């Protein structure tokens, strides 16, 4: 079984091909960093135009890489949401056109399910497992019971963790994208210098909050005249911020681990996925947690943590081999919760 996947939910244009032997036959990703850098963040209209300009070329390159024709495919999958709706529409319409012209089934994939199932492509992780999904737009903890079977037990009540990284980096003048730059700077700093808060630490439940932590960074920065905001100060603040994020994530995820192990005593794995999963400091802290709990931590390779089409192709393949597919009348969705029965978030925040 061979599936073409297309991803256009944010600022990466991507096309990939996978098969049911868990082989990635092609994986093309075109970043838009240079287009968005002058604005300090992703501009939806620019992103959509870039997808429109480059997607057909990327699909052709992926097919070339795999040595396949459209007739060789078993299905065509794309991100149908959630995401920036202009980009999602570009990817969805392209996938529909290919599926229609090649007489192949069309599958609309939830972008979050792509992240959730990536470890089944890379590590063949068995259900059920606990998932910490952390990225620039998402911060959730879910119990993954099967394809399409998700129980959300925690979410952010304000900012996603990746958003907090990027906004903190922007305050410190680290440029865009800020998260990776802040991680590198933190390696040079003293994580004990600044006493930043650990939001919700010690409280019941598994929800997150990062807005107050971000505000605390701003207060510390405002306490230094511009000429005193040296590289050392910034490095120490970055390290202190990263440590506070790590301890907050561990505290909330520990509660989720206890709940998961009570509900699924046979479960053995905590999965961390999404762009922030590439942060090595956070992976180290999560490894400490899973070692204490007797679980195994699994994270996708760094190239598959950030947005890519291999995860979309794989999620489409998982759905397709269960007999699922979508009609060409599918409507792209800016919001698409993995667990539609989860209670509404207690505050405004990231896309669900």
Residue 190 confidence (pLDDT) above 60? yes
Q: Which tens digit of pLDDT belongs to each residue from 105-124?
A: 999 999 999 999 999 999 99
* Mean pLDDT along residues 319-340: 97
What is the spatial order of strands in the sheet that 269-273 belongs to? Answer: 149-155, 139-146, 129-134, 269-273, 296-298
Q: Are residues 135 and 283 both part of a single domain?
A: yes
Number of CB atoms found within 10 A of residue 69's CB: 9
Is 333 a domain residue? no
Instruction: Give residue 349's pLDDT band: very low, low, confident or very high (50, 70, 90).
Output: very low
Q: Are residues 113 and 35 in the same domain?
A: yes
- CB of 149 within 8 A of CB of 131? no
Q: pLDDT band for position 102 (50/70/90)?
A: very high
Query: What is the pLDDT at residue 109?
Result: 98
CB 114 within 8 A of CB 7: yes
For residue 335, being part of any structural domain is answered with no
Q: Is residue 109 part of a domain?
A: yes
Number of Cβ within 10 Å of residue 39's Cβ equals 10
Number of structural domains found in the chain: 2
Q: How confident is the model at residue 352 (pLDDT cuts 50, 70, 90)?
A: very low
What residues make up the domain containing 133?
126-299
pLDDT(345) > 70: no
**Per residue in 287-305, pLDDT tens?**
999 999 999 999 999 999 9
Residues 6+ apart with CB under 8 A from 128: 143, 144, 145, 146, 260, 264, 266, 267
pLDDT band at 350, cuts 50/70/90? very low
Q: What is the pLDDT of residue 228?
A: 87
Whether 231 and 139 share a structural domain = yes
pLDDT value of position 177: 82
Examine the domain organization and report whether 148 and 273 are in the same domain: yes
**Geometric angle at alpha carbon 153, from 147 and 158, rounded to 5°:** 115
* Domain contains 19: yes
- Whole-number pLDDT of residue 178: 87
Return the half-sphere exposure (C-beta side, CA atoms, 13 A cut-off) of residue 28. 20
3-state secondary structure 40-82: CCCCHHHHHHHHHHHHHHHHHHHHHHHCCCHHHCCEEEEEEEC
Q: Helix-strand-coil percent breakdown of the chain, rounded to 5?
A: 45, 20, 35
Residue range 202-257, pLDDT digits in tens: 999 999 999 999 999 999 999 988 888 899 999 999 999 999 999 999 999 999 99
Q: 141 in helix, strand or coil?
A: strand
Q: Where residue 41 falls among pLDDT bands split at 50, 70, 90?
A: confident
DSSP H helical ranges for the chain = 33-36, 44-66, 85-102, 111-122, 161-171, 178-186, 211-222, 231-263, 280-293, 302-305, 310-320
If asked whether residues 139 and 99 sit together in one domain, one would say no
- Asked whether residue 227 is assigned to any structural domain, the reply reads yes
Pair (136, 228) in one structural domain: yes
CA-wise closest residue to 350 among 208, 151, 213 = 208
The verdict on residue 82 lying in a domain is: yes
Residue 343 within a domain:
no
User: What's the CATH number where 46 sits?
Assistant: 3.30.420.40
With a CB cutoff of 8 Å and minimum separation 6, the contacts of 159 are 139, 167, 209, 210, 211, 214, 349, 350
Q: What is the pLDDT of residue 346?
A: 57
pLDDT(347) > 70: no
351 domain residue, yes or no = no
């Amino acid at each position: 079984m061979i599936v073409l996947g297309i991803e256009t939910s944010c600022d990466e244009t991507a096309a990939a091909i996978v098969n049911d032997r868990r082989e990635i036959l092609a994986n093309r990703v075109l970043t838009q960093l240079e287009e968005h850098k002058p604005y300090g963040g992703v501009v939806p209209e620019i992103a959509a135009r870039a997808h429109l300009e480059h997607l057909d070329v990327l699909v052709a390159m992926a097919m070339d890489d795999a040595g396949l024709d459209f007739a060789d495919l078993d299905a065509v999958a794309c991100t149908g949401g959630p995401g920036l709706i202009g980009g999602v529409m570009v990817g969805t319409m392209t996938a529909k056109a290919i599926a229609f012209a090649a007489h192949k089934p069309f599958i609309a994939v939830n972008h979050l399910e792509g992240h959730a199932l990536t470890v089944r492509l890379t590590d063949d992780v068995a259900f059920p497992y606990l998932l910490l999904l952390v990225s620039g737009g998402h911060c959730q903890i879910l119990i993954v019971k099967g394809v399409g079977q998700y129980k959300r037990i925690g979410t952010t009540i304000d900012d996603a963790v990746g958003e907090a990284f990027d906004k903190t980096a922007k305050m410190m003048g680290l440029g865009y994208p800020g998260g990776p730059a802040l991680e590198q700077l933190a390696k040079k700093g003293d994580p004990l210098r600044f006493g930043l808060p650990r939001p919700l630490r010690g409280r019941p439940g598994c929800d997150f909050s990062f807005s107050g932590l971000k505000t605390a960074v701003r207060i510390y920065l405002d306490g230094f005249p511009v000429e005193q905001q040296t590289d050392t100060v910034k490095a120490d603040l970055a390290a202190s911020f990263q440590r506070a994020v790590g301890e907050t994530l561990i505290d909330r995820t520990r509660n989720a681990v206890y709940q998961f192990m009570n509900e699924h005593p046979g479960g053995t794995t905590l999965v961390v996925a999404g762009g922030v999963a590439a942060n090595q400091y956070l992976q180290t802290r999560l490894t400490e947690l899973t070692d204490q709990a007797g679980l195994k931590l699994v994270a996708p390779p760094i190239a598959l943590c950030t947005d890519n089409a291999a995860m979309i192709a794989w999620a489409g393949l998982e759905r397709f081999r269960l007999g699922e597919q979508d009609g060409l009348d599918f409507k792209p969705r800016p919001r698409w919760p993995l667990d539609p029965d989860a209670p509404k978030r207690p505050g405004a925040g990231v896309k669900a």
